[in-house]
Amino acid sequence: MNIPIARSDIHIHLSEEHISILFGDSHKLHNIKDLTIPGQFVCSERVIVTGPEGSIEDVVVVGPARRETQVEISITNGLSLGITPPVRMSGNLENTPGCILIGPLGSVSLKKGVIASKRHIHMHTNQAREWNLSDGQSVCVKVPGSRALIFDEVIMRVGEDQAQEMHVDFDEGHAAGITDFQSVEIIP
């Protein structure tokens, strides 16, 4: 059971309300690159993320707009910002820290929404059925190479709208010497 892996750098998902504040009324995000997961894309828009101890500039916005704004950072990014992000699945934002977002036309003081994304695997329902894997299941994944590593606690995200790809952040990627889109092995 081999799948491609990719590293996610710091990025942000924005609500319509926050897009308007940061980039102007009824602003529409500009797609400059489609991501592997259908419907998800890298935008030309950039924001500054600010925490109590520092800022990170040029943070990529990933579209489309979401119901809630979510800032995905690594633990290392958190050290620069002075924020300790809890490790969460996307969308699970209760009791998470906030930050300040600065765009070209305004700023937003977020009360919550900063997380370190829990490592996960996107998979289409048909492939998951073939391999007997289910949504929400936790699996291990073996990364080969000179820094070979077995990741435990990798959560399956199975759906009809999914493509096949494992996502880790840059800290996890560096720890395992990962090259984007290399193949890794699922160990149920």
Q: Quick one: 7 or 167, whose CB is closer to Zn ion?
A: 167
Token pair listed for 20: 């308007």
Please, what is the minimum distance in Å from the beta carbon of residue 111 to Zn ion?
A: 24
- Contact characters 126-165, Zn ion, x per CB under 5 A: ----------------------------------------
Pick the closer one to Zn ion by CB: 36 or 55: 36
Q: Can you point out the beta strands (E) in 96-148?
A: 99-102, 107-110, 114-117, 120-124, 138-143
Q: Which is nearer to Zn ion, 27 or 167 (CB)?
A: 167
Q: How far is the CB of 107 from Zn ion (least distance, A)?
A: 27
Of the pair 17, 138, the CB lying nearest Zn ion is at: 138
Stretch that binds Zn ion, among 48-56, 104-112, 129-137, 167-175 (CB under 5 A): 167-175
How many CB atoms are located within 10 Å of the residue 183 CB?
Answer: 11
- 119 binds Zn ion per the rule CB under 5 A: no
Which of 27, 88, 119, 167 touches Zn ion by CB under 5 A?
167
Closest by alpha carbon to 115, among 30, 49, 31? 49
1's CB contacts (< 8 A; 6+ apart) are: 131, 185, 186, 187, 188
* Rounded Cα gap, residues 67 and 166, in angstroms: 24
Instruction: Report which of 48, 51, 74 is spatially closest to residue 61, judged by C-alpha positions.
Output: 48
Contacting positions for Zn ion (CB under 5 A): 167
